[in-house]
Structure 1
Amino acid sequence: MSFQNRKQTILRLLEEKEEVEVKEFAQLLNISEITIRRDLIQMASEGLLHRTHGGAMRLSLVQNPVTFSNKTTTNAEQKDKICRAAAQFIQEGDIIFMDCGSTVFRLCPYIRHKKIKVITNSLPVVYELQGSSVSINLIGGELDVERQAIHGSIAEEHIKRYRANRAFIGVDGISPENGLSALSEKEASITLAMVAHSAQVYLLCDATKLGQDKYLQFAGLDIIHTLITDADLKKVKPYQDQGLQVICVE
């Protein structure tokens, strides 16, 4: 198959699946991974797709970060309830941190009308809040395309220059025994930086995250002031027993 024919097939696959890994491309096209990597590099230089660490994604996903951020979001109704409750704690004039979590992102519609300042590393949050009453401070640093977020040491230094009234964060897992855990060291580092420079910390966490221990255990429960979740009272009791304030939404 010629490069031109492969190009059309690659674009068709990305249109159907939005994001495809190198190994899958190679199997579907019956070519080597070396060849497909070379094809993807060439197509990216032509502006036809966006290269990721493991393959490629449809260019429109990068151009519209909100769509990309939420293409795999689950438990949307529960997360919206959590965010409605969280928004009630935000006062006019507040300075708040918002991380790049999918639950935290869903806080945006409930704060657009507030005259506050948001400091964030999330491009989808910026995209959603632009043109609203919110003043935005975008954290600088290295772009993680897959997460549509800014990470790295420069980002952490940026955060350390500011003080916030509140931080709204998410995690990949939380348990009474081992505290907060993440799938990524860089996301854990950003979370810790935001927590260290906030007067109050709110963890927005749907019930599926409770009782979960993930790859990196990075902090104890004591860094959180309030857990807002859709979990039932029985499930949150072990966290309350450790002194954590918990708000359960229905």
Structure 2
Amino acid sequence: MTFQKRAHKILELLETYGEVDIRQLANYIGVSEVTVRRDLNSMAAKGLLYRTHGGAMKISDVIKPVSFATKAEVNLKPKDAICKRAAADIIDGDVIFIDCGSTAFRLCQFIKNKNIKVITNSLPVVNELQHSAVTINLIGGEVDVTRQAVHGTMALEHISRYHASKAFLGVDGITAEGLYAGSEHEANNTLAMAAQTSCTYMLCDASKIGKTSYLKFNDLSIVDIIVTNYNGPEVNKFESNGISVYSVTV
């Protein structure tokens, strides 16, 4: 298969999902991961896509939020493994924040039988935890239909009134230099929740590690624990910053 044909297929997949990893692309196109990496580097140099640590993003999605439904369909197995490990640290009586990220949403299936209180700005989280043992506190404010989340000044004020024992958050990218988000709204909610909790968990599949995005909104000082399926050199950098890294196998 020629480079032009492979590039066409890569752009097709990016158009569908907004963001893809190297393994997905290799399986979809039917070539080696080495070939995919070479193609992505070439396409990024031509401005056809945005190269990330584990794959690529559609250029427009670097500055435009990907819909929750689209993000929720990507990397399900790693997200489930990450959330199963994170849920093991949640005990009856906990008050926890869950943000609007597609990874944090996968936590719901593992906590439905726990006697806990969840404070969230995520409409899918509220829907998933209805009729379970969990008590839900929905953050108020303006609804972002694309992200299926509540944002804005009133949301930040709501968050500031509560304190949680743990917060389970996501980011668009995380490196040794800091945390990255696709929008100021999501960055502000992340900072607000981290400020009101005793322990901040970042739930990050491997595609988020080493990746930068539109907005660098903070250093790593707000992070206590990273739960991820990544097991590369960035782990040592995180640990040298005093962060515990829980590595999971998919």
TM-score calculated relative to the size of structure 2: 0.71
Count, aligned residues: 183
Deviations 1:154-184, CA, capped at 9 Å, x for gaps: 000000110100000000011102x101010
Specify the alignment match of 1:230 in structure 2.
Answer: 229
- Tell me, yes or no, if structure 1 residue 143 matches structure 2 residue 143: yes
Cα distance in structure 1, aligned partners of 2:103 and 2:149: 14
1:99–1:122 CA contact under 8 A, matched in 2: yes
AA in 1 matched with 2:126: V
1:172–1:214 CA contact under 8 A, matched in 2: yes
Specify the alignment match of 1:190 in structure 2.
Answer: 189
Deviations 1:68-89, CA, capped at 9 Å, x for gaps: 7444421100010000000011
Q: Please list every run of 5 or more consecutive structure 1 residues that lacks an aligned counterpart in the other structure.
A: 1-16, 18-67
Specify the alignment match of 2:56 in structure 1.
Answer: none
Cα distance in structure 1, aligned partners of 2:234 and 2:207: 11
Cα distance in structure 2, aligned partners of 1:244 and 1:142: 33
Larger radius of gyration: 1
Q: Percent identity?
A: 53
- Aligned with 1:82: secondary structure? helix
Specify the alignment match of 1:212 in structure 2.
Answer: 211
1:69–1:148 CA contact under 8 A, matched in 2: yes
**Any residues of structure 2 matched to 1:123-162 within 5 Å, and which?**
123-162=123-162
2:176–2:234 CA contact under 8 A, matched in 1: no
AA in 2 matched with 1:220: D
Cα distance in structure 2, aligned partners of 1:183 and 1:233: 24
Cα distance in structure 1, aligned partners of 2:69 and 2:85: 20
Of structures 1 and 2, the one scoring higher in RCO (CA 8 A, sep 6+) is: 2
**Any residues of structure 2 matched to 1:20-35 within 5 Å, and which?**
none
AA in 1 matched with 2:151: H
TM-score calculated relative to the size of structure 1: 0.71
- What is the deviation of 1:136? 0.2
- What is the deviation of 1:234? 3.2
- Tell me, yes or no, if structure 1 residue 117 matches structure 2 residue 141: no
After TM superposition, the runs of 4+ consecutive aligned structure 1 residues lying more than 2 A away are 68-73
1:233–1:248 CA contact under 8 A, matched in 2: no
Specify the alignment match of 1:249 in structure 2.
Answer: 248
Q: CA RMSD in A?
A: 1.3
Deviations 1:91-119, CA, capped at 9 Å, x for gaps: 10100000000000000000000000000
Deviations 1:31-70, CA, capped at 9 Å, x for gaps: xxxxxxxxxxxxxxxxxxxxxxxxxxxxxxxxxxxxx744
Deviations 1:122-172, CA, capped at 9 Å, x for gaps: 000000000000000000000000000000000000001101000000000
